[in-house]
Structures are given as C-alpha cells and as structure tokens.
Structure 1
Amino acid sequence: MKFLFDLFPVILFFVTFKWGEGHIPAAQSLVEKYLSTFVSGGMSETELAPILLATAVTLVASIVQITSLLVRRKTVDAMLWISFIIIMVFGGATIYFHSDTFIKWKPTVLYWCYCGAFLLAQFIFRKNLIRTVMEAQVKLPEQVWSYLSLAWATYFFVMGALNIWVAFHFSTDTWANFKLISMVGITPAFIVVQSLFLSKYMEEAE
C-alpha cells in the first residue's frame, strides 16, 4: 500500500499527460484557464499543454499526499520530503517558464539526491541507511549491509543518468513511458533481484 501511495503522483502525471496528448485543444483550454496566471507571459505553446497540465496535477497530488499524512499525524519519511521539495521546485519552474526541460530533469535530480544521501551517510557519517530501516526485520553480516547500501547508491546514479539520456534523446511521450516503467517495473525488479541475492544471508530477528 505504501508503494502505491508513493506512486500516486507519478501515476496521475502519466494518466494526465496521455489524456492531454489525445485531447490537445482541451488540454490547452485547461492550461489557459487555470495556469495562465502562473505562466511567464500568460501564454504557452499549444504542444506543451499536456506536459504543463500533467505537471500541475502532479503538484496538486503531491501537496494532497503530504497534507494527508500530516493531518493523520503520520510520519513523512525523509525521502518523501525530498521528493516533495524537488517536484515543487522543478514542477513550478516547468509551469512558470513553460518548458519541459525542468520536469525532465526532476527524476535525475531526485535519484542523484538519493545516491548522494546513501554515499554521504556511509562514508562521511558512518551510517548505513538501509540498515537503519531494515535491521529490525532482518539480520545481515556487516559486509552485506555495506554492499546493499552501495547497490542502492549505484542504482540511483544509473537511473538518474538513464533518465537524462531518455529525456533528451527521445520524444516526451517516450520519456513519460520510461518514467512510469522505471517506477512500476524497473524498481520492483531491482528489489526482487536484490531479495533473491540476500535470501541466503537473511535471518528472522528474534
């Protein structure tokens, strides 16, 4: 359930973008009606309407997501806060400057922030973030915890680089597809492969 909750803004972005691509005049009308105040110059190119509309929906979804947790007095984990801040900054810039460059950079900045957090925690602060989260559930040798942290740091770095390559070498439609696939396909697959590797080390905590 938490995975689906975290994925909520991404799914809405994808659905809204796909709808906008198939209904350009309607998307442009919505952009002019609701976003013209926030767009530099008050107008934007028609072909950008789907991405601007999808970005706006994602901003609203992210605000609702964080607000719902705060209202219910649930803990908002650090990664969700980082994601929220980055989507606010890059999503806001996308709408204001009516340019899809910012929103295309957003996943890479997010991935590389995660990568940096893992590396800083492990090598500067001598703290293993994965161990902090998982140690209550499983017991692993010290070296395996280190490998696990480095594996996640490497994964985030590679995904960030891959996002930039897809974003600026292929169409926006292809990038949007990749953005969704990376969340619902690549990331779960990475977790499964990692779990299979770790299974021989894992012991149930007493």
Structure 2
Amino acid sequence: MSEPLAIPPKVSTPLRIALDYGPLLAFFVANKFAGIMWATGVFMALIVLAIVVSRVLTGKVSPMQWVTGAVVLGFGGFTLWLNDAEFIKLKPTIIYAIFAIVLLFGMATKRPLLKLVLHDAFPAVDAEGWRKLTRNWALLFIGLAIANEVARRMLTTDQWVDFKVWGVTALTFAFALAQAPILMRHAEQPPKP
C-alpha cells in the first residue's frame, strides 16, 4: 500500500524499517480484521506519524515523504468521505506515475533526480550509473502503475491488498537487488595515493 518513505539514514535501521513499512503492515492487518475503511484510516494516521517522527529525529522530511503523504491523505480522505475503496486503490497508480514522470523528466533534462534521493546511500556511483538506475526505476514505476491498474480492476479489495502488500513489496525488493550489478559496475574508484 505504501511506498517506502525514504527515511533519512540518520535514523537507526530498525526504526527506519518500522517507519518505512509499519504503515503498510498496519494497513494489511487492519484490512484483514476491520475492512478497508478502517485500514485506510489507520494507514493515513501512521503515514502522518512516520513523517512527524522522521522530522523530529532528522530535522527534515524528504520530498518523497511529502509526495507519498499528500497522496495517501488525499486519496485516503476521498475513500473515507465517499465510502469508496476505489480511491485508495487508485493511490498507488498515481504515486507510481508521479515518480516515473519525475524520473523521466530528470533524464530528459540531464539531471539525475534519483541521485538526489539515493546519493547518501551510494555516493560512489558515476553519472552513467545514475542514468541507468534512473531509467530502470522509471520503467519499474511505469510497470507498477500498469500492474496496479490491472489489479484494482480485476481483483477483489482483499486480493488487491494482498497483491499490493506482498506482491509489489517483494517485486520492489527483488528489483532493487537486481540493480546491484549497476551499482558495482559504475562505482567510481577513489584516487590511489
């Protein structure tokens, strides 16, 4: 349900994982026990909490967190207000499309926008590596937007939640791991003394 919020690295790893994936896991559990409307409310509250905790602990909120939070609150609000789960099911498509458009815009203007988000984690990647990573992630986001559109139209709400929480999360992790060869191949070597 949630895209990782990209909590800055100053936060401990267990807390970062909890802030990134806690709202998603809580959404899944709440949906199983109380239904999609309760799950949406829980998800919205925990996204806000994750952003606040990140701000308090690091002094900043990443653009990715702001975008994800705004879309979750907007589409979650419509879901609750109109009592229509289609809005929360549309939210991933919108977020994936925004991320893909932003990355493709960065490529078109020769600005590796993915580098702004991930440079601290991978400072040694060269310009060609950032170009390839940006292209690959943009294509993934396009694929995820299409997959979400198919899933939200073809699956029941409970099946869609399972697909989103377990399928998309696993696919995203596998995709991230598959980018390791690019990271290794395009790592700039430090100058020899």
User: If the length of structure 2 is used for normalisation, what is the TM-score?
Assistant: 0.82
- Give the direction of change, closer, same or farther, for the CA distance of 1:98–1:189 in structure 2 (3 Å limit): same
1:1-206 matches, cutoff 5 A: 1=13, 2-20=16-34, 50-124=35-109, 126-135=110-119, 137-203=122-188, 205=190
Q: SS state of the match for residue 139, structure 1?
A: coil
Looking at structure 1, the residues matched to 69 and 130 of structure 2 have their Cα atoms a distance apart, in angstroms, of 28
- Give the direction of change, closer, same or farther, for the CA distance of 1:133–1:92 in structure 2 (3 Å limit): closer
Q: Counterpart of 1:194 in structure 2: which amino acid?
A: Q
Q: Counterpart of 1:127 in structure 2: which amino acid?
A: R
Q: SS state of the match for residue 199, structure 1?
A: helix
Give the Å deviation of 1:107: 0.7
Deviations 1:98-150 (A, max 9, x none): 001100000110111111111112213x3102233444644344333211111
Looking at structure 2, the residues matched to 197 and 92 of structure 1 have their Cα atoms a distance apart, in angstroms, of 40
1:112·1:156 contact (CA, 8 Å) conserved in 2? yes
Deviations 1:9-56 (A, max 9, x none): 111100100112xxxxxxxxxxxxxxxxxxxxxxxxxxxxx1100001
Q: SS state of the match for residue 112, structure 1?
A: helix
Equivalent residue for 1:29?
none
Q: Counterpart of 1:201 in structure 2: which amino acid?
A: H
Looking at structure 2, the residues matched to 132 and 63 of structure 1 have their Cα atoms a distance apart, in angstroms, of 23
2:129·2:182 contact (CA, 8 Å) conserved in 1? no
2:101·2:138 contact (CA, 8 Å) conserved in 1? yes
**Greater mean alpha carbon deviation, residues 135-144 or residues 80-89:** 135-144
User: If the length of structure 1 is used for normalisation, what is the TM-score?
Assistant: 0.78
1:7·1:183 contact (CA, 8 Å) conserved in 2? no
Q: SS state of the match for residue 72, structure 1?
A: helix
Structure 2 unaligned blocks of 5 or more: 1-12
Q: Counterpart of 1:84 in structure 2: which amino acid?
A: G
Looking at structure 2, the residues matched to 133 and 52 of structure 1 have their Cα atoms a distance apart, in angstroms, of 32
Looking at structure 2, the residues matched to 192 and 11 of structure 1 have their Cα atoms a distance apart, in angstroms, of 21
Equivalences, count: 176
Looking at structure 2, the residues matched to 58 and 16 of structure 1 have their Cα atoms a distance apart, in angstroms, of 9
Equivalent residue for 1:45?
none
Q: Percent identity between the aligned chains?
A: 26
Looking at structure 1, the residues matched to 158 and 173 of structure 2 have their Cα atoms a distance apart, in angstroms, of 22
- RMSD of the alignment, in Å? 1.9
